[in-house]
Every structure is written in structure tokens, then in C-alpha cells.
């Protein structure tokens, strides 16, 4: 079925510029931060997993919760965890109370890696993102993204973690 081009609610020129600016900033920032982490042998996705595990009680999370927290499919996360296991950064453990469940657990090597890499990564986030804005702009950005995150997590059936 073809859409009548005149009957559709298209983006205004202003909305189009804002949308494209968001896409460009997101992609460029992700690529830059990922590139800088590669010197430490990590991808940005690896780093995000290590951060989530390092901030969790017992440095462990159910794989399903980790997939939700990192916005990955369970299958993609499983492959990523396999690579990280091979590197000695994480292990998998069965859930004692739920045989179907599996935990991803941060190893001592993973903990040392995040402790070593985090200061440089935070410096990069500051240099390429945070320090380019005023504190008010950072607060505004957080307020702008909150309803978008809430909406999309609702669509996915995932609750937002504040």
C-alpha cells in the first residue's frame, strides 16, 4: 500500500535538523568513545556491561536483567558475554533458585579492568560530551531524554532505572 505523500505528518525543517543532529551526535560520540576504549581491549558495549556488573550487588546480574539494562537482545548479550568470558572479564553462574536463569558475574580481572579503564573513559565522556555543555544544558538534556526513554522502554516492556 502506497502512502499519499500529502496525507502524512512529515517532520518540519526544524524537526528534521534536530533529528539529524541527534543521530549524528549519537553516532559520532559512540564511535569516538568506542575507538578510545579499543586501546584497552574493550568495546563500548563491553565497558557498559562491566559498569552494570560492577554497580550490582555481588557484582552479578541475571542475564535477562543485564540484557534489559544494556538494551540488547538476550541472544546478542549471550554472544557478547561468551567473548568476555574468553577474555576472563566475566563468568556465568547458574541461579540456584531458578535453574533456567543464569547470572553474569564480574571476575577479579573484570573488576581490575573497569577500575583501570574507567578514569580515562570518564575523561573522554567529559571531553567529548559533558564539558561541551553548561550545567543547565546537561540538566535540560536529561529532562528532554527522560520521556523518550520512558516511552521506548514502555514499548519494549522494560522499566527505566533511575
pLDDT digits (tens, 9 = 90+) for 1-44: 565 667 789 999 999 999 999 999 999 999 999 999 999 999 99
Q: pLDDT value at position 157?
A: 78
The radius of gyration of the chain from alpha carbons, rounded to an integer in Å, stands at 19
Distance separating alpha carbons of residues 160 and 151, to the nearest angstrom: 10
Q: pLDDT value at position 97?
A: 76
Pull the grid cell for residue 120.
Answer: 580515562
Q: pLDDT value at position 8?
A: 84
CB atoms within 10 A of CB 35: 12
Record the pTM.
0.87
Amino acid at each position: 500500500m502506497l502512502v499519499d505523500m500529502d496525507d502524512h505528518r512529515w517532520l518540519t525543517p526544524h524537526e528534521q535538523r534536530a533529528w539529524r543532529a541527534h543521530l549524528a551526535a549519537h553516532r559520532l560520540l559512540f564511535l569516538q568513545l568506542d575507538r578510545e576504549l579499543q586501546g584497552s581491549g574493550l568495546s563500548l558495549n563491553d565497558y557498559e556491561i562491566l559498569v552494570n556488573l560492577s554497580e550490582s550487588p555481588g557484582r552479578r546480574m541475571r542475564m535477562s536483567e543485564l540484557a534489559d539494562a544494556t538494551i540488547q537482545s538476550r541472544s546478542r548479550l549471550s554472544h557478547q558475554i561468551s567473548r568476555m568470558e574468553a577474555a576472563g572479564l566475566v563468568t556465568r553462574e547458574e541461579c540456584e533458585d531458578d535453574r533456567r536463569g543464569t547470572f553474569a558475574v564480574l571476575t577479579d580481572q573484570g573488576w581490575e579492568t573497569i577500575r583501570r579503564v574507567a578514569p580515562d573513559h570518564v575523561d573522554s565522556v567529559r571531553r567529548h560530551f559533558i564539558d561541551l555543555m553548561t550545567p543547565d544544558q546537561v540538566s535540560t538534556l536529561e529532562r528532554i531524554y527522560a520521556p523518550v526513554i520512558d516511552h521506548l522502554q514502555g514499548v519494549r516492556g522494560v522499566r527505566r532505572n533511575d
